[in-house]
Amino acid sequence: MEYIQNMRKLIGHETLFTVGCGVMIVQNDQLLLQHRIDEDSWCIPGGVMELGETFEEAAKREALEETGLSVNRLELFGIYSGKDCYAEYNNGDQVYSVQVIFSAHSISGELLQKGDESREHRFFASHNLPENINLRQKSFILDWAKGTKLPVIR
């Protein structure tokens, strides 16, 4: 995050290009989603890649930080780009973030319910997803729900 803070000092609220990495944690044909505090929406665990990290390292780190779970044997779910990757946050910061999404069916640890970024974590079946899915993540969550052929490249 230090990199992003340093870049913001230089460019202000202008669009910053980042790479986000997330994990579709699936257990018993259900997807783990977290209810975000900042946007009141449901999304998968994930976040921005730090300098020097691999995609897989970033995804594992974010999953652990946000859920308390260690994810094992990651598989590429998809790479998402395009207009849905633009965002403007409440403070005016703009970002374009390409998303590298993994799936994990093997986890260990104890699931945290609340954290700095989330109200709760819950597993959802593909036919029973919440209505307020994070708009920037909706495409890959719906791809999972539809059983789309992998990996997805958009």
Q: Is residue 28, in this structure, part of any structural domain at all?
A: yes
Q: Is 62 a catalytic residue?
A: no
Q: Is residue 62, in this structure, part of any structural domain at all?
A: yes
The residue segments making up the domain with residue 126 are: 2-149
pLDDT tens for residues 92-119? 999 999 999 999 999 999 998 777 778 8
Q: How confident is the model at residue 1 (pLDDT cuts 50, 70, 90)?
A: low
Residues 85-102: b if buried by 16+ CB within 10 A, e if exposed = bebeeeeebebebebbbb
Give the predicted TM-score (pTM) of the model: 0.93
Q: Is residue 20, in this structure, part of any structural domain at all?
A: yes
Q: Is residue 154, in this structure, part of any structural domain at all?
A: no
Domain count within the chain = 1
pLDDT tens for residues 24-44? 999 999 999 999 988 889 999
DSSP 8-state code for residue 50: P
Active-site residue, selected from the candidate residues 14, 75, 88, 120: 120
Closest CA to 46 of 131, 147, 118: 118
Q: Is residue 61, in this structure, part of any structural domain at all?
A: yes
Here the CATH number for the domain that contains residue 135 is 3.90.79.10
Considering the chain, what is the average pLDDT of its residues? 94
